[in-house]
Amino acid sequence: MTRWARICGACVQGVVLGALLFTAILYLISMYGGARIFRYEGF
Amino acid sequence: MTSDSRAVQTCHEAWRAFLKGATEPSPLALSVALATVCGLIAVCLRFVTPALVASDAHRYLAEAPNDDYVFVTAKALALLRDGARDPAVFILGASGDRESITSCGELAELVQQRCGVRPDVHLLAPNGLSVWEMAALADALPAQFDGIVVLGLGVNPPRWAGARADLEALVASPRLGFVSAVFDREIERAGLRIPWRTGNYLLDNRGFFHARVRCLIKNLRRGPVTYEHARMLHAQPSGPEEMGGAAWWDERIERARGWLARYDELMDAGLSVFARTAEALKARGRVSVVLVETPTNPRFIDQAWGRERYAAHQRRLTQFTDEHGLHYWDLSAASALGADEFHDHTHLRATEAQRRFTKKLADRLARLLPARPGNGRVN
């Protein structure tokens, strides 16, 4: 039983870390990815 | 040891093993983390679709109530999905066109009063729409429809399609959230490289979404943004550098004169895009295409264009539209728009002026609506 509990714990850790990593990737992309909402009024 | 105490001990050991598994690094945790990231990316690729953006969810992508391109994208995608009720009137233009119309509902009502038919009016007029984006928006209209497409010419027609750098900027930072074969062909014609297309909506529009991740994160906390239609009414420049202020005005006149110096070359490039757009639209059904001059401050015409040059421009547009079976309307003079009714060179700030322009547009639409090709009357 302890083996499965440990596997379960590792899976929970993985999901939480994965979600945080995904959010961090999105955040970094938005901050430093170089994309911008293009504004040009002169057309 | 009783069976109860054994069970408690087993639970305790299991909990400690769970905590150990959840807190200590392990190859399994790392694999699950990577799989979760990949899974979330796959979910985005699968579920971020035109249908999602056409739904109310698009409001989470907008930066502010005046972030036109998100709202216009959603509207265009909804039209592409649902079509429009015939007869339809689509008005494609820039902010000057948007600010000159009171509302789609009022325009439809005015047309109905004049000709007895109530059209389904759609206004797609984001700030500073370029001629290439207008072609892309026209391409996103329903595949088959019956009605009129009004294309706003913009306040600086010579600017149209004149600068390859402008198109390069739009390719690098797309403002519309959909790809269009027409837009891609314009990119190709300009000698630029078409961005990598995959067939996946999110990947193909990565530039659009990429720029809006920050807005999405902010709006998930604050709530979705609500669109604001007319925003120049009663506006006054707060300083000389502000839009419509004295310094801004001088700079704008100077810039317009620079474009006018290249009038012939730039007009040829721009009109060729309009011609292709109009041809594609007319192939979609009983469709009339109108090029309408965006309301222009008479002071701007005097100072930037000069009356003679503007009259020559009107003649050129008349000739072009005659050659291509289109219509050309310049309603500013007929609507008696005075210089003091403009916020700047093109945006109306007087409600009364807006109403006059909308009525004049309704007059013309009501005359043209029953006279489209296929109705047995003169076009």
- C-alpha B83: how far from its chain's center? 17
| Structure confidence by residue, pLDDT tens digits, B187-208 | 999 899 999 999 999 999 999 9
- Among the residues of chain B, which ranges form H helices? 3-23, 27-47, 50-54, 68-82, 95-99, 104-115, 131-139, 164-172, 181-189, 201-204, 206-210, 213-222, 246-260, 263-282, 298-300, 307-323, 351-368
More confident residue, B311 or B377: B311
Of B29, B41, B212, the CB nearest to A13: B29
Q: Is the pLDDT of residue B235 over 80?
A: no
Mean pLDDT confidence for B86-99: 93
CB contact under 8 A, A22 and B40: yes
Predicted confidence band at B167 (pLDDT cuts at 50, 70, 90)?
Answer: confident
Name chain A contacts of B255, Cβ cutoff 8 Å: 42
More confident residue, B231 or B149: B149
Task: Specify the 3-state DSSP secondary structure of B327.
Answer: strand
ipTM of the complex: 0.88
- Residue B168: closest C-alpha in chain A: A38
- Residue A29: closest C-alpha in chain B: B210
| Structure confidence by residue, pLDDT tens digits, A1-43 | 789 999 999 999 999 999 999 989 888 887 776 667 777 655 4
Of B22, B210, B215, the CB nearest to A10: B22
> Which pTM does this prediction carry?
0.87
pLDDT for res B377: 39
CA–CA gap between residue B373 and residue B287 (Å, rounded): 7
pLDDT for res B234: 63
Name chain A contacts of B36, Cβ cutoff 8 Å: 14-15, 17-19, 21-22
- How far are the Cα atoms of B157, B187, B265 from residue B205, in angstroms, in the given order? 28, 15, 32
Distance from CA of A25 to the nearest CA of B (A): 9
- Residue A41: closest C-alpha in chain B: B128
Chain B interface test: which of A1, A29, A37 (most B C-beta within 10 Å): A37
Of A1, A7, A19, the CB nearest to B21: A7
Q: What average pLDDT does chain B have?
A: 89
Task: Measure the CA angle with vertex B202, ends B196 and B205; round to 5°.
Answer: 55
- Report residue B346: phi and psi, to 5°: -145, -25
- Residue B253: closest C-alpha in chain A: A42
| Structure confidence by residue, pLDDT tens digits, B294-349 | 999 999 999 988 999 999 999 999 999 999 999 999 999 899 999 999 988 888 98
Residue type, B312: A
Task: Specify the 3-state DSSP secondary structure of B287.
Answer: strand
CA–CA gap between residue A41 and residue B355 (Å, rounded): 25
Task: Specify the 3-state DSSP secondary structure of B149.
Answer: strand
10 Å Cβ neighbour count for B309? 13
Mean pLDDT confidence for B215-224: 92
Name chain B contacts of A39, Cβ cutoff 8 Å: 127-128
Q: Which two tokens mark A28? A: 């970094």
CB contact under 8 A, B166 and A43: yes
Q: What is the count of residue pairs from A and B with beta carbons less than 8 Å apart?
A: 138
Q: Is the pLDDT of residue B2 over 80?
A: no
Chain A interface test: which of B213, B242, B257 (most A C-beta within 10 Å): B213
- How far are the Cα atoms of B21, B85, B90, B142, B287 from residue B119, in angstroms, in the given order? 65, 8, 10, 15, 13
Q: In percent, how much of chain B has pLDDT > 70?
A: 93
> Which of A1-10, B35-44, B260-269 is predicted with the least confidence, judged by mean pLDDT?
B260-269
Mean pLDDT confidence for B212-239: 82
